[in-house]
Amino acid sequence: MGLLDRVSTLVRANLNDLIDRAEDPEKVIKQLIIDMNNQLIQVKTQVAAAIADEKRLYQRQQEAQQQADEWQSKAELAVEKGDDDLAKQALARRNSYTQTAQGLQEQWQAQSAQVQTLKDALRQLETKVSEAEAKKDLLIARSRRARAEETVQKTLSGVRGVGAMSDFERLEEKVEQQEARAAAYTDLSTDTLDQKFATLEQESEVDRQLRDRARRRLPNPPAPFPQGKGNYSRIGGAVSKATDSAEELKGRSGPAYAAAKGGVLAFTKWVAKDGGRYDIQANAVCPGPVVSEMTCGYEYPLSAQPIARMGRPADIAEAVLFLASNASNFITGQGLNVDGGLVMD
């Protein structure tokens, strides 16, 4: 390889490298789309011109054929009139126009075939342009994503470098030194004895608040108050006991039964009295006849009640819910009759 060939190869290699590095895929794609659209316009122009030529050839062929037919008619007229010379001249003209019409016919057929080929090529080109338009946005998005990823990776590579990490470590050490000096100044400017007493006072106040909160939310009161045993239903600081109204009906269900229910009421009052110091309320719910399996088959004198019907379990539940709620936080030691007014007869 001669010197000039080597220089030419070197120049071309450097130029190609510069072009490759300067080539932006997004810009190139847009330019290619523009070029394809320009080519499409040119092809459309050529196809339109070919179609126009085809139409002109067809029109000229039709005119020549019409002239040939007219001269044929004139020749026949001359023969009918007995003028053979004039008939010969008319036939000569007819033959001339017939040849012209045939030549134009051949040209028109060839032009039609060419126009059809151009139309097929135009449709293919339009399809290619449409496909390129559809892929343009996707390719541009992929190019931008690739550039962004490259930029991020370069940035991360720079951060991960030895110099950057050493700078971060140096700054972190400097911040730690500043924090240590600030803590030292704080220790020197604070009276240690006063600080200790302030801490003790703060801890004492916190302990007192915790004890108060524990007393308010005590789940099981200390002895001698009962430890939540038995059939008591307890919610927060409220204790309720479900008993019957029979003890208030002067033994209508028997002396033992009435005495037992009366004992429940007395026990409820004692619980309320002794548990009040623990912020605990105790009340008894005294239901009348309630629809249940136990009352099934018994007939009660409902006409004697102001509310002449059997009680429902929901009636008793609502009473218990009331006594267990904050709405009854000033009620204790009471027996709540839920019997439709049965005890008033």
pLDDT score at 210: 61
Q: Domain 233-344 falls in which CATH fold?
A: Rossmann fold (3.40.50)
257 a catalytic residue: yes
Q: In angstroms, what CA-CA distances link 95 with 70, 86, 290?
A: 11, 14, 127
Length of the chain: 345
What are the residue ranges spanned by the domains of the chain? 3-159, 233-344
Share of the chain above pLDDT 90, in %: 13
pLDDT class of 279 with cuts at 50, 70, 90: confident
Domains 3-159 and 233-344 share a fold: no
pLDDT score at 23: 67
Cβ pair 268, 232 in contact under 8 A:
no
pLDDT score at 253: 56
Q: Which one has a higher pLDDT value, 272 or 303?
A: 272
pLDDT score at 165: 58
- Tokens representing residue 58 in the block: 């067809």
Of 97-106, 116-125, 223-232, the poorest mean pLDDT is in 223-232
- How many distinct helices (H) and strands (E) make up the chain? 7, 4
Q: By 3-state DSSP, what share of the chain in percent is helix, strand and coil, each rounded to 5?
A: 75, 5, 20
CB neighbour class for 90 (10 Å; exposed up to 12, middle 13-18, buried from 19): buried
* β partners of residue 144: none
pLDDT for 158 beyond 80: no
pLDDT score at 221: 44
pLDDT for 303 beyond 90: no
Q: Nearest CA to 309 among 284, 332, 337, 340?
A: 340
pLDDT tens digits for range 173-219: 888 888 888 877 766 665 566 666 666 666 666 566 666 655 554 44
pLDDT for 222 beyond 60: no
Q: Nearest CA to 314 among 298, 338, 331, 337?
A: 338
Q: Architecture of 3-159 per CATH? A: Orthogonal Bundle (1.10)
Could you say which of 185, 257, 278, 298 is catalytic? Answer: 257
Q: Which one has a higher pLDDT value, 337 or 238?
A: 337
DSSP string over 157-207: HHHTSHHHHHHHHHHHHHHHHHHHHHHHHHHHHS-HHHHHHHHHHHHHHHH
Measure the N-to-C terminal CA separation of the chain; round to a whole number of Å.
134
Which residue bears the tokens 């470590």? 169
Of 11-20, 190-199, 245-254, the poorest mean pLDDT is in 245-254
Distance CA(46)–CA(121), nearest Å, equals 11
Question: Which amino acid is residue 179, in one-letter code?
Answer: E
pLDDT for 247 beyond 50: no
Mean pLDDT of the chain: 77
Cβ pair 271, 239 in contact under 8 A:
yes
pLDDT for 250 beyond 60: no
SS3 state at 294: coil
Cβ pair 343, 248 in contact under 8 A:
yes
Q: Nearest CA to 333 among 248, 257, 260, 238?
A: 238
